[in-house]
Every structure is written in structure tokens, then in C-alpha cells.
Amino acid sequence: MDLIAELNDLHVAKTVARRLCAIGNSLVGLSDDEREALNAALLNDKIRHTDLAQVLSNRGFKVSAVTVSRHRNRGESNGCRCPQ
């Protein structure tokens, strides 16, 4: 394939899949009910990042309070790259 054809293929290529953060990866592996409960906890600004990270860590998920904070701020300059 020549250079021009290869470059043109880039214009029609599928969107590159973004890597998910630890929270995003955790959500993928949960049941629907668990995912809904975790999403509700993430949206509740009265729950501290540290408390949520501790509960998840106790359940075997490898997350930190910083990871929780970044996931909550996804879409912003200081957030993770998970889709909103």
C-alpha cells in the first residue's frame, strides 16, 4: 500500500478505543445492580474519594482515592479518559 492510500485510510479508520481507568475497568466487570450502585456512589459528592476507594479496595479492586477523584472528573482537564 502506498503512503497516500495509507494516510487516506486513517480518515475512515474506526475510533481508537481509549484505555479505561481502574474504576472504568471495575465497572465493566460488575453485575448490572453492582454497576448501578457504584455509579450512584460515584455521583454522590457526599461520599469521599478515600471512603469509596477503601470500600472498593476491601473488595479486591486496585483503586486509590486519586483514581476515584480522576474518574469523577472525567471529561475535565484533571479527569481520566473514560467516556462520560
Number of domains in the chain: 1
Determine contact, residues 72/79, Cβ cutoff 8 Å. yes
Does 70 reside within a domain? Answer: yes
Q: Please tell me the predicted confidence (pLDDT) of residue 5.
A: 80
Does 39 reside within a domain? Answer: yes
| Report field, pTM of the whole predicted structure over 0.75 | no
Residues of the chain whose pLDDT is less than 50? none
- Comparing CA positions, the residue from 60, 78, 77, 59 lying closest to residue 68 is 78
Q: Please tell me the predicted confidence (pLDDT) of residue 35.
A: 93
Does 56 reside within a domain? Answer: yes
What is the domain range of residue 46?
19-84
Q: Please tell me the predicted confidence (pLDDT) of residue 81.
A: 86
Residue 25: what residue type? N
